[in-house]
Amino acid sequence: MKRVSLTQYLVEEQRLNNSIPAELRLLIEVVARACKTISHAVGKGALGEVLGSAGSENVQGEVQKKLDILSNEILLEANEWGGHLAAMASEEMETIHQIPNRYPKGEYMLLFDPLDGSSNIDVNVSIGTIFSVLKAPDGMTTPTEQDFMQPGSKQVAAGYAVYGPQTVLVLTTGNGVNCFTLDREMGSWVLTQRNMQIPADTKEFAINASNTRHWYPPVTRYVDEMLAGSTGPRGKEFNMRWIASMVADVHRILNRGGIFMYPADKREPDKAGKLRLMYEANPMSFIVEQAGGASTNGKQRMLDIQPTALHQRVAVFLGSKNEVERVTQYHQE
Ligand code: AHG
Ligand code: MN
Ligand code: MN
Ligand code: MN
């Protein structure tokens, strides 16, 4: 089999389909390189003294793990000097990060969840990185937070890395979804899956069932109907999986279908869920749609939501199209 590297894929994509401008190609390569560095740190585990808590809190009130902070720093440092970015934003930083004046600036804005699945770090379960790329308004080299408030449909690229049994990078630039596996000996990303497709139907769902008593009626109804099995209204048996790393749950869905849900619930009625729109829900929704799946907040298409705050939370229903449409319809009835 002829090996196609990430670099070669991106160059060919730029040449043949014109879907990737040179600057964006450079940006993606740099993010991929940062993910390689994070993967290396993750792989060291206790030997690299990267496990455990850092003893600080982020703007969402979550305790930061050492790897949350380290991964954030790796992404910032890797992307600052390349000249392709106007600014960055991250789950682990309260405000946006401007490119220091000593470096040239570019037209893109990068958003990331540097380390997704923090609760799994110390137990050697798959974790990852999620990123999203927006364009800065024309000529804007020092964007404000307001300039980041673009609906997900404006993303020009999105991707995630999973640090699991293998390290993989899944990427879209709006022309389908491709998966690259890190060749750890060679240090290069190799194209291993082209044009990933999520089947429209599925018999598998993912939700944190410990929150059952807090759910709103549409979610309860939807899950109850699945749990009723082959003699219930759905007429088939469903299986359940919950990894508690969104990257790993979404990666499973991209490979064999399924629906992933993190609904808003009754605990905090003014909170629209747990996951963050800008650096979790939007990039994952772009990828899922590009793979033929669907994603909503229960009421509307995720990618159409007009953001109002950098760390805005949102309810998430994504994956196999027919299932996402069903649970979204239950919210409308
Ligand atoms: P993060 O580690 O970036 O804060 O995100 C964790 C998220 C997501 O990855 C996962 O799907 C969800 O939190 C798990 O939440 P529960 O612990 O409530 O199951
Ligand atoms: Mn977190
Ligand atoms: Mn996350
Ligand atoms: Mn995170």
Is the model's pLDDT at 86 over the cut of 80?
Answer: yes
291 touches 255 (CB < 8 A):
no
pLDDT greater than 90 at residue 275: yes
Cβ 74 vs Cβ 51: under 8 Å: no
Q: Would you say 114 and 68 are in contact if contact means Cβ atoms under 8 Å apart? A: yes
Q: Which ligand lies nearest to the CA atom of residue 114 in the structure?
A: 4
274 is in an annotated binding site: yes
Closest ligand 1 atom, residue 208 Cα = 19
Does the domain at residues 6-193 carry the CATH identifier 3.30.540.10? yes
pLDDT tens per residue across span 27-59: 999 999 999 999 999 999 999 999 999 999 999
Burial class of residue 96 in the structure, from the number of CB atoms within 10 Å of its CB (0-12 exposed, 13-18 middle, 19+ buried): buried
For the structural domain made of 204-332, what CATH number should be given? 3.40.190.80
The domain limits of the chain are 6-193, 204-332
Q: Which two tokens stand for residue 297?
A: 């907040």
Q: Where does ligand 1 bind, in terms of residues with CB under 6 Å?
A: 62, 91, 113, 116-119, 208, 244-246, 274
What's the whole-number average pLDDT of the chain?
96
For ion ligand 3, residues whose CB falls within 5 Å = 113, 116
Ligand 1 atom nearest the C-alpha of 118 is 2
Q: How far apart are CA 49 and CA 79, in angstroms?
A: 24
Is residue 3 over pLDDT 80? yes
